[in-house]
Amino acid sequence: MSIYSGYEAVIGLEVHIQLKTKTKAFCGCSTEFGREPNSQVCPVCLGFPGALPVLNRLALEYAVKVALALNCKIQEFTKFDRKNYFYPDLPKNYQISQFDLPLSKDGFLDIYLQGKAKRIGIRRVHLEEDAGKLIHKEDFSLVDFNRAGIPLLEIVSEPQINSPQEAYEYLSTLKSIVQYLDVSDCDMEKGSLRCDANISVREAGAEGLGTKTEVKNMNSFKSVKEALGFEIERQIELLKQDKKIIQETRLWDAEKLETFSMRTKEESKDYRYFPEPDLPPFIISKDKIESIRMTIPELPYQKIQRFMNEYGLSEYDAKVIVFSSKDDAIYAEECMKRLDSSDKKPLVNFLIGPMMSEANNRNCGISGLGIPAEEVVSLVQHVQRQDISYLTAKSVLKEVIDTSQSPTKIIKDKNLIQISDSNALTKLVDEVIKENPKSVQDYLSGKSNAIMFLVGQVMKKSNGKANPKIVQEIIKGRLSNA
């Protein structure tokens, strides 16, 4: 099945994530982001002759943790290799990486899209080191080696992604998994998550793979999606004209919204890989692997399914909550559990609507707002009982955050409870009807909008506390008997 008539897109993603260890992969330098350029360097990460690397144990543990969460087989015997190339951001003129014996391979990641699950193969997960950072100015370039040597995980998918939307979902799920494991910030803006996309197209139903291009330089998931969309169209257009697709590396231009050729693609043989002689091959014991496996929490895909099954959430709502963060998902579940109604929708709407927007304004998640779960539930219940309007609930929420008082107390102290008593409201309605014959006439002659004016007048008389829904019902009833 294809969304491009007669053609099919084939995508494989290579994702790099910086592991958030305190020190670099092979030396003791700090990995802290945003420090003065070249202030976090030493002879090892600057590649001075004779300086010897020592593997950061935690980096290896984090790598194993991610590999396990991606259902990969951990290779008992693994080693590092030198990937040789000359570039000003690479002090040693080689990168310590893993070539033929990566620490893990043959895993998968499940994505869930529009009611359907899809399994995407993970070819390998390996550990390597980051390069420095080049800063290009008008007519010169600067280099910052603070980043050189930070542990990086490379996660390579099989070419089993078939649309930009699937790629987006793959990235969102992967990012969320890594965040749940608490081993990386996965912040694309800070460069702690980077994605290269490999794309080819083929005639729908064809067996083999077409010639691929590799697109780099996307700095958000949205850009990845756009770049893939552009590249697929470009390649299909070439094929339609019977032209050849050149295997090359292309860059995404986020302003022009197009890809352009950077260089022809190098092959692995160009890198002259050979075993890193300064780091002995090593064995990861079964016990170690099992003890790391024990630390893996429930992962996003499982949580999304469970929230849909147990609490009746829609796919969209479940994803918003689960992908937000592990803490937010735990918090939301606590709220859902406390609401003793099987209809969780009003609560979920409140969580992902007003609460998430308050959280965004404060640069935190809903769990970071500091509101006990039972108070959120009580606020939503006030709305459901029609004690207060939804609008009032939103302003009470702000006050709960600012004053740490309970919603019930704020509602009581400020006397915010709506008047829903129909006798009291009928009295006000009758006054308003008497005082506004023109609007009544308008309404009776078919201008249905006029009723909103009358409702407004009742609201005024009640100092904003009348329940507008009930008021409207009463007015309708009164005027239909008129």
Closer of 265 and 338 to ligand ADP (Cβ): 265
Closer of 44 and 156 to ligand ADP (Cβ): 156
Angle, CA 245 vertex, CA 240 and CA 249 arms, to 5°: 140
Asked if residue 259 binds ligand ADP (CB under 6 A), the reply is: no
Say which entry of ligand ADP, Zn ion, none residue 199 contacts (CB below 5 to 8 A, set by partner kind): ligand ADP
Closer of 42 and 289 to Zn ion (Cβ): 42
Asked if residue 199 binds ligand ADP (CB under 6 A), the reply is: yes
Asked if residue 157 binds ligand ADP (CB under 6 A), the reply is: yes
Closer of 56 and 162 to Zn ion (Cβ): 56
Say which entry of Zn ion, ligand ADP, none residue 42 contacts (CB below 5 to 8 A, set by partner kind): Zn ion
Taking contact as CB under 6 A, which single stretch among the options 155-163, 253-261, 290-298, 413-421 is the one that binds ligand ADP? 155-163
Between strands 248-253 and 213-216, the pairing is: parallel
CB 411 within 8 A of CB 458: no
Say which entry of Zn ion, ligand ADP, none residue 29 contacts (CB below 5 to 8 A, set by partner kind): Zn ion
Residue with tokens 């399994």: 119
Closer of 54 and 204 to Zn ion (Cβ): 54
Closer of 151 and 210 to ligand ADP (Cβ): 210
Residues β-bridged to residue 113: 116
Smallest gap from Cβ 199 to ligand ADP, in A, equals 6
Residue 151 and residue 56: Cα distance in Å, rounded? 9
Question: What DSSP character marks residue 354?
Answer: I
By beta-carbon distance, which residue lies closest to ligand ADP?
Answer: 12
Question: What are the strands, taking DSSP E only, across 69-207?
Answer: 73-74, 77-78, 81-84, 94-97, 104-113, 116-129, 133-136, 141-144, 151-157, 193-203
Residues in contact with ligand ADP, counted by CB under 6 A, come to a total of 17
What tokens appear for 159 in the block?
């070419």
Asked if residue 12 binds ligand ADP (CB under 6 A), the reply is: yes
Asked if residue 96 binds Zn ion (CB under 5 A), the reply is: no
**Ramachandran angles phi, psi of 9, nearest 5°:** -95, 140
Burial 232-259 (b: 16+ CB within 10 A, else e): bebbbeebeeeeebeebbbbbeeeeeeb
DSSP string, 279-344: S--EE--HHHHHHHHTT----HHHHHHHHHHHH---HHHHHHHHHH-HHHHHHHHHHHHHS-SS--
Smallest gap from Cβ 156 to ligand ADP, in A, equals 5
Closer of 162 and 325 to ligand ADP (Cβ): 162
Residues 11-50 within binding reach of Zn ion (CB under 5 A): 27, 29, 42, 44-45
The residue within the footprint of ligand ADP, chosen from 97, 184, 198, 217 (CB under 6 A), is: 198
Binding map of ligand ADP across residues 55-94, x = CB under 6 A, - = no contact: ----------------------------------------
Asked if residue 102 binds ligand ADP (CB under 6 A), the reply is: no
What tokens appear for 267 in the block?
């092959």
> Which stretches of the chain bind ligand ADP, using CB under 6 A?
10-14, 156-159, 198-200, 209-210, 212, 265, 268
